Amino acid sequence: MSLPETTSDPHTANDADSASDLYGAAAEFYDLLAAPTWARLGPLLRGALDGVDPGHGPLLDIGAGTGLSTEAAADAVPDAQLLAVEPSAGMRIALSTRLACRPALAGRVTVTAGTLRDVRLPRRLCAAVALGVVGHLAPVERALLWRLLSERLAPGAPAVVDVLDRTAPPTRAPLRLATRRVGDLEYESWSEGADDGWTLTYRVRDGETVVREHTVPLPWSGVGIATVAEEAAVAGLVCTRLAPDFAVLRTTPLTREDHS
């Protein structure tokens, strides 16, 4: 049985823009302060995407943000076309700038303004990436994601997911995540956890003086890998944990030959 392509409603993306630019205030700072995160995440992602066959279809990046995950996935699977799905207009501006700086990447990445409900999915995907996003999804959205991945991923193809704020333990006490000198000023990112979310705070300092401060409260469900594995199993996906907060879902388990 061949699966139909999903359709998109052009009005939905606009609704998503206005309703959910949770990350708008973070976009200016996101890439400048991302290095510690990606020092750890880059190798994990490359390993998880090793062996992906781009001939099966495009690679889906859900919650592509500024394109850090999109670019890393594109570099890990050099011949893949990519579908980058991102609801935040602010983050998409940074994504567009990234694509403008790498014309070859721009030729490979199709951007959807919105969420999973807005993207036109092909019958088959060679892989999927959902980094920093699963905790933002309501249970019903996660169920939709697992079902679509189960239907569309090529047999044995990976969907790469992470669950916690990977830049910090989920501490309630404010924790400084990263610092970076930009011109004469020092940029800082801070995290502060809560039961149902966390707050990112960005500070720009001129010496001891804070010249700007932006707080970004983010809903985050706190869902862990065990819950992801249970939910994904209902949709027929097998979960392999690669780190405490990082896993790969597949439609079929890896064989001995795949491991060797």
Ligand X SMILES: C[S@@+](CC[C@H](N)C(=O)[O-])C[C@H]1O[C@@H](n2cnc3c(N)ncnc32)[C@H](O)[C@@H]1O
DSSP β-bridge partners for residue 209: 206
Which tokens belong to 201?
Answer: 């705070």
Shortest separation between residue 27's beta carbon and ligand X, angstroms: 8
Among 120, 83, 82, 84, residue whose Cα is nearest residue 3: 120
- Could you tell me which residues come within 8 angstroms of residue 120 by beta carbon, excluding any fewer than 6 positions away? 5, 6, 7, 8, 112
Shortest separation between residue 4's beta carbon and ligand X, angstroms: 22
Q: Which is nearer to ligand X, 43 or 55 (CB)?
A: 43
Site residues for ligand X per CB under 6 A: 22-23, 62-65, 68-69, 85-88, 91, 115-116, 131-133, 136-137, 141
Shortest separation between residue 253's beta carbon and ligand X, angstroms: 26
Measured CA to CA, the distance from residue 109 to residue 251 in angstroms comes to 24
Measured CA to CA, the distance from residue 161 to residue 165 in angstroms comes to 12
Q: Which is nearer to ligand X, 120 or 210 (CB)?
A: 120
Q: Which residue is nearest to ligand X (CB)?
A: 65
- Could you tell me which residues come within 8 angstroms of residue 55 by beta carbon, excluding any fewer than 6 positions away? 126
Q: Which is nearer to ligand X, 80 or 137 (CB)?
A: 137
Q: Which is nearer to ligand X, 151 or 156 (CB)?
A: 151
Residue 36: phi, psi to the nearest 5?
Answer: -60, -40
Shortest separation between residue 117's beta carbon and ligand X, angstroms: 9
Shortest separation between residue 257's beta carbon and ligand X, angstroms: 31
Shortest separation between residue 181's beta carbon and ligand X, angstroms: 22
Q: Which is nearer to ligand X, 21 or 156 (CB)?
A: 21
What amino acid is encoded at 225 in this protein? I
Burial 126-144 (b: 16+ CB within 10 A, else e): bbbbbbbbbbbbeeebbeb
Q: Which is nearer to ligand X, 74 or 91 (CB)?
A: 91
